[in-house]
A = this chain, B = another copy of it.
């Protein structure tokens, strides 16, 4: 008589950490950070909220794991033959493009200090600073400056996207609202802010991000 298949394959779609993370990413992309609840997630996975806790410790770990999957993919960019500067730009742009597609990683990144997603970024950039000629005792400062800048941009990006979603508008309408508000500021108190208000409407986020990276790289080159 025939053998039964191994019990682990008894059900085609048994729960696993990776399936949970995968479903979480789909929910986060579609409904944003506030859309990811254990109830919504367990419904999508056709199970109960408690089942998820067998595979994941808590919501923070879930967000970190989802973020880690995106960051790992974003950092998978070809670096061969590139100068250290070009490699760092490529790494940074990989993360930028990842955060455009998955804005919620900005929030997850800052809430996972020292965790796997951050370690991946630190390691990727850190390997380049040596080749860049940065003295060993200053490499940490150089890497953490780049990291802080990247985290700053990505957390702002996450907040913009999330707030726009709450108000039921898109990202550019949200920025337009800020631009309008800045234009209406007191000319005596806020001359500079008023002067750049119009630029909020038609600037290129990606180009500005890269310009920021280049400013820091310029500074690093003097070390």
Tell yes or no: A80 within 8 A of B by CB.
Answer: no
Interface segment, A1-9, A19-27, A40-48, A143-151? A143-151
Cβ A122 vs Cβ B192 within 8 A: yes
8 Å CB interface, A174-208 against B: 177-178, 181-182, 185, 189-193, 195-196, 199, 203, 208
Q: Are A127 and B212 in contact (CB under 8 A)?
A: no
Q: Please state the number of chain copies in the assembly.
A: 2
Kindly list chain B residues whose C-beta atoms are within 8 Å of the C-beta of A113: 156, 159-160, 163, 178
Chain A residues 132 to 163 lying within 8 A of chain B, measured CB to CB, are 139-145, 147-153, 155-156, 158-160, 163
Query: Bound state CA distance, A162 and B192, in angstroms?
Result: 34
Given contacts A145-B216, A159-B110, contact A122 B178 (CB under 8 A): no
| A220: Cβ under 8 A from any B Cβ | yes
Write the chain B residue with the least CB distance to A137: B199
Apart from the given pairs A110-B158, A126-B192, 6 other A-B contacts in the complex at a CB distance below 8 Å: A110-B156, A114-B177, A122-B193, A123-B192, A126-B196, A152-B155
